[in-house]
Amino acid sequence: MIRFSEPAPAKLNLALHVRGKLPDGRHRLETVFVFCTDGDLVEAQAADELSLTATGPFSDKLLGENLVMKAAEELRVRARVEAGAALHLKKNLPIASGIGGGSADAAAALRLLTRLWKINPAHASEVAPQLGSDIPACLLSLSARGGGAGDDLTLLDDPAIAGTPVLLVNPRPKRALMIPWLLTWPPSRATEPPSEAVMVPRLITLAALDPELVL
């Protein structure tokens, strides 16, 4: 049986500005998305039902509802597909670390199942923003400027970005990085963040546009 595979590259935000709130309550962002060579890998083969297995250094952290399965289920409903798929996730990226691991996985699943089920790619584009504001960018996996909630995309063609060395430092935190707190708690404010957030060792993402600055 043919087994399809699709990379899920790590996502970096080279810039991220919170400009207020949108009418629907989401944060209004200005950001620049870029994508690394390394990341997770999603595989699939034809099956009667939808299923997901996982391996890799961070596979044991996949608890509760998974975005890969949610993406698959939403795409199947949108495209009116009756077939299933046996999905497998090779989880190399840390969970909830701000580099789009879950979003990249979901986007890779959308691309992968579009090929497996031989459906119109427009279905994946319609499902993506319903799953998360950065999933449309991850679906493209190309350098882009993001507006709105991050899902209003304009492609960037900047030769300074391609091939730029990147260093990702992961201290193996015991708790997930609280992205909503990071967007709503200004560092200049005198009050302390929630006690749980104080204990979160953060994933540090360093992206250097000058290779000489890479640590």
Per the domain annotation, does 176 fall within a domain? yes
Say yes or no: 33 and 61 in one domain.
Answer: yes
Q: Is residue 146 part of a domain?
A: yes
Assigned token pair, 142: 């190309």
- Same domain assignment for residues 36 and 141: yes
Most confident of the ranges 31-45, 61-75, 88-102, 182-196? 31-45
Answer yes or no: is 160 within a domain. Answer: no
In whole angstroms, give the CA distance from residue 100 to residue 40. 10
Residue 137 carries which DSSP code?
H
| Same domain for 11 and 99 | yes
* Whether residues 89 and 32 fall in one domain: yes
Tokens of 6: 């699709």
Question: Domains in the chain: how many in total?
Answer: 2
CA pair distance 98, 78, nearest whole angstrom: 28
Q: How confident is the model at residue 214 (pLDDT cuts 50, 70, 90)?
A: very low
CB 116 within 8 A of CB 110: no
Q: Are residue 44 and residue 142 in the same domain, yes or no?
A: yes
**What CATH number does residue 94 fall under?**
3.30.230.10
* Residue 145 resides in a domain: yes
11, 91, 105, 151: the active-site residue: 11
Q: How many whole angstroms separate alpha carbon 118 and alpha carbon 171?
A: 41
Q: How far apart are CA 99 and CA 91, in angstroms?
A: 13
Q: 90 with 187, same domain?
A: no
**132 and 178, same domain (yes or no):** no
On whether the CB atoms of residues 54 and 17 are closer than 8 A, the answer is no
Concerning whether 11 is annotated as a catalytic residue, the answer is yes
Residues 40 and 114 in one domain: yes
Decide if pLDDT at 39 tops 70. yes
Would 52 be classed as within a structural domain? Answer: yes
Last residue of a domain, one of 115, 132, 155: 155
Instruction: Assess contact for 40 and 105: CB atoms under 8 A.
Output: yes
Closest CA to 27 of 155, 185, 133, 144: 133
Say if residue 25 is in the same domain as residue 81. Answer: yes
Q: What is the pTM of this model?
A: 0.79
Beta strands in the chain (DSSP E): 4-21, 27-47, 50-55, 84-90, 144-147, 152-155, 166-169, 204-207
pLDDT of residue 125: 96
CB 158 within 8 A of CB 175: no
Task: Pick the catalytic residue from 118, 134, 152, 174.
Answer: 134
Q: Which domain holds residue 190?
A: 166-213
